[in-house]
Amino acid sequence: MKPLMLQGHQRAITQIKYNREGDLIFSSAKDSKPSVWYSLNGERLGTFNGHIGAVWCVDVDWTTTRLITGAGDMNTFLWDVETGTALGKIPCNSSVRTCNFSFSGNQASYSTDRAMNHPCELFVIDVRNIDASISSADPVLKLTMNEQQSKITSMLWGALDETVITGHENGSLRIWDLRAVKELNSVNDHTASITDMQMSSDGTMFVSSSKDCSAKLFDSDSLMCLKTFKTERPVNSACISPLFEHVALGGGQDAMEVTTTSTQAGKFDSRFFHLVYEEEFARVKGHFGPINSMAFHPDGKSFATGGEDGFVRIQVFDSSYYEHTFE
């Protein structure tokens, strides 16, 4: 099956997300214009204009009515998905690295980098009724990371909006109780920076990818490491199939170390592992640079990858994928 090439971003893709139905893909890139695309034919519906820096993160709520983006221009924007207008803008002290809506869509959280004498902070805000006053409103909750906790590089909401799981630059994972405002647990299974974390469709497990050349599967409640998927190069993103027991990994070297031979050497392939047996069973070629973000379609029949080359590629699985069984 020929992949769809979604061309529209001028610079490297930083994150891609499907909405809940899977008919839309939201992409953020370093060119300051988050975009929304039809996942079926790859047509770009439009952009969300307002940022003036690289957009690091994007998330859409479960009703596909609101979008949250965080960028290097030290702002978090909340958007109306349908019209593309900015509903609110929250100024921060440093660039915004992660942002996520909670499962209910009533709250959102975002984290800022440690920079310019400001510590890394995690904010939780109420997004039930957004207007211009949100820029000066106090957050529901603010957690400040100390020196050992290091910078937050990725984040997920836990079950029932009661916890937030954070992945850090030093490879640690932490789970926070939002009601008691305290750290419940932390694990150090990864040895280098966490690049991405994505939940399984039922929320019981999540997969984390790291620059230590591995992706790991964790229990989302106890943070117990269940499986490890090893590769030879840094993993920038990993996702769990909602349909089969498959995990997809994407990565490549750091953008600054990319050479001309890397594409031929298969360094930028999407790699498919079996969730249980930890064995690689397939690779999909495509990008001309490292894969920065990837996601499965909610029905599990296709997946999208966003690369350093500025393209989003949607690959629909052909029939042999469904017939594949492990001996």
What's the sign of the alpha-carbon dihedral 236, 104, 145, 188? negative
Contact indicator for 6, 42 with CB cutoff of 8 Å: yes
Mean pLDDT of 241-257: 86
What integer pLDDT is reported at residue 255 of this predicted model? 61
Average pLDDT of the segment spanning 259-268: 66
What domain count does the chain have?
Answer: 1
Here the CATH number for the domain that contains residue 224 is 2.130.10.10
Q: Does pLDDT of 88 surpass 90? A: yes
The tokens of 184 are what? Answer: 């419940």
**Domain span at 209:** 3-323
Confidence at residue 256, expressed as pLDDT on a 0 to 100 scale: 64
Share of the chain above pLDDT 90, in %: 86
List C-alpha distances in Å: 124 to 110, 149, 182: 7, 18, 14
Give the Cα separation of 186 and 45 in Å (integer).
41
Whether the predicted pLDDT of 251 surpasses 90: no
Res 257 pLDDT > 70 = no
CA distance 51 to 74: 9
36-73 per-position pLDDT tens digit: 999 999 999 999 999 999 999 999 999 999 999 999 99
Mean per-residue pLDDT over the chain, rounded: 93
Are 77 and 89 spatial neighbours (Cβ–Cβ below 8 Å)? yes
Query: The tokens of 121 are what?
Result: 């902070």
